[in-house]
Structure 1
Amino acid sequence: MTGSQLQMILPKFPSCSYLENNPSSKQNILERLEGGEVVLGDGSYCATLEKRGYVKAGHYTPEASVENPEAVEALAYEYARAGADITQTFTYYSRDVGTPDDVNLTCGEINQGACNIAKKIAKEKGTIVAGGIVQTGVFSTKRDKKEVHEELREGLEVLIQNDIDLIIVEFFGNIIEMEWAIELALSYNKPVAATMCIGPKGDTDGVQPEECAVRMARAGAHIIGTNCKFDPFISLETMRRMKAGLDAENLHPYLMCQPLGFRTPDVNHFGGFHLPEFPFAMEPRQITRIEAAQFAREAYHLGIRVIGGCCGIESHHIRAMAEELAVERGGLPEGSRKSDHDLSTLKKKGDMGRDEFKMKGSKEYWQSLIPCTGRPLSSALNRTMNPEVVDRSVLN
Structure 2
Amino acid sequence: MASSKSKNILERLDAGELIIGDGSYIFTLERRGYVKCGHMTPEASVEYPEAVEALAVEYARAGADITQTFTFYSRDIGTPEDVNLTCREINQASCDIAKKVAKKYDTIVAGGIVYTAVFKQTRNKKDVQDELREGLEVLIENDVDLIIVEYFRNIIEMEWALELALSYGKPVAATMCIGPKGDQDGVSAAECGVRMAKAGAKIVGVNCLFDPFITLETVKIMKDGLKAAGLNPYLMCQPLGYRTPDGGSYGWIELPEYPYAVEPRTVTRFEVAKFAREAYDLGVRVIGGCCGMESVHIRAIAEELAEEHGRLPEASRKSDLDLSVLGRKANLGRREYLGKGTKDFWWNLVPATGRPLSASLHRQENPQTVSKSVLN
Both structures adopt the same fold (TM-score exceeding 0.5): yes
> How far did residue 254 of structure 1 move?
0.4
| 1-structure distance, mates of 2:47, 2:311 | 37
| 2-structure distance, mates of 1:25, 1:330 | 13
| 1-structure distance, mates of 2:67, 2:367 | 33
| 2-structure distance, mates of 1:389, 1:46 | 26
One-letter amino acid matched to 2:239: P
1:259-278 matched pairs, under 5 angstroms: 259-278=239-258
- RMSD of aligned C-alpha atoms? 1.0
Residue 217 of structure 2: aligned partner: 237
- Point out which structure has higher relative CO (alpha carbons under 8 A, 6+ apart): 1
Contact in 2 for aligned 1:168/1:194 (Cα 8 Å)? yes
| 2-structure distance, mates of 1:386, 1:298 | 27
Query: Sequence identity, in percent?
Result: 69
Aligned counterpart in structure 2 of residue 283 of structure 1, from 256, 263, 267: 263
1:360-371 matched pairs, under 5 angstroms: 360-371=340-351
> How far did residue 274 of structure 1 move?
1.1
Query: Does 1:352 pair with 2:332?
Result: yes
Query: Does 1:74 pair with 2:58?
Result: no
> How far did residue 98 of structure 1 move?
0.9
| 2-structure distance, mates of 1:385, 1:106 | 39
User: What SS is found at the alignment partner of 2:247?
Assistant: coil
> How far did residue 49 of structure 1 move?
0.1
| 2-structure distance, mates of 1:201, 1:121 | 38
Aligned counterpart in structure 2 of residue 296 of structure 1, from 262, 266, 276: 276
One-letter amino acid matched to 2:44: A
> Which whole-Å deviations, capped at 9, do the CAs of 1:117-174 have from their partners, x for residues lacking one?
0000000000000000000011001111011110000000100000000000000000
1:129-208 matched pairs, under 5 angstroms: 129-208=109-188
Contact in 2 for aligned 1:119/1:129 (Cα 8 Å)? yes
May I ask how many residue pairs the two structures share in their alignment? 372
| 2-structure distance, mates of 1:365, 1:52 | 31
| 2-structure distance, mates of 1:348, 1:29 | 42
> Which whole-Å deviations, capped at 9, do the CAs of 1:212-251 have from their partners, x for residues lacking one?
0000000000100000000001100100000000011110
| 2-structure distance, mates of 1:364, 1:264 | 24
Residue 91 of structure 1: aligned partner: 71
Query: Does 1:21 pair with 2:2?
Result: yes
Ranges in structure 1 where 5+ consecutive residues have no aligned partner: 1-19
Ranges in structure 2 where 5+ consecutive residues have no aligned partner: none
One-letter amino acid matched to 1:296: A
User: What SS is found at the alignment partner of 2:169?
Assistant: coil
| 2-structure distance, mates of 1:228, 1:255 | 15
| 1-structure distance, mates of 2:311, 2:184 | 41
| 2-structure distance, mates of 1:122, 1:331 | 18
| 1-structure distance, mates of 2:2, 2:78 | 35
Residue 61 of structure 1: aligned partner: 41
Residue 11 of structure 1: aligned partner: none
Aligned counterpart in structure 2 of residue 380 of structure 1, from 338, 352, 360: 360
> How far did residue 30 of structure 1 move?
0.6
> How far did residue 389 of structure 1 move?
1.4
| 2-structure distance, mates of 1:94, 1:328 | 36
User: Structure 1 residues 165-174 or 346-355, which shifts more?
Assistant: 346-355
Contact in 2 for aligned 1:149/1:184 (Cα 8 Å)? yes
Residue 305 of structure 1: aligned partner: 285
> Which whole-Å deviations, capped at 9, do the CAs of 1:239-288 have from their partners, x for residues lacking one?
00000000111100000000110000001111101110011000000100
| 2-structure distance, mates of 1:268, 1:109 | 35
Contact in 2 for aligned 1:21/1:80 (Cα 8 Å)? no
Residue 211 of structure 1: aligned partner: 191
User: What SS is found at the alignment partner of 1:371?
Assistant: coil
User: What SS is found at the alignment partner of 2:16?
Assistant: coil
User: What SS is found at the alignment partner of 1:348?
Assistant: helix
| 2-structure distance, mates of 1:330, 1:89 | 25
Aligned counterpart in structure 2 of residue 119 of structure 1, from 99, 115, 138: 99
> Which whole-Å deviations, capped at 9, do the CAs of 1:162-194 have from their partners, x for residues lacking one?
000000000000000000101000000000000
1:31-50 matched pairs, under 5 angstroms: 31-50=11-30
> How far did residue 21 of structure 1 move?
2.3
Aligned counterpart in structure 2 of residue 314 of structure 1, from 294, 315, 319: 294
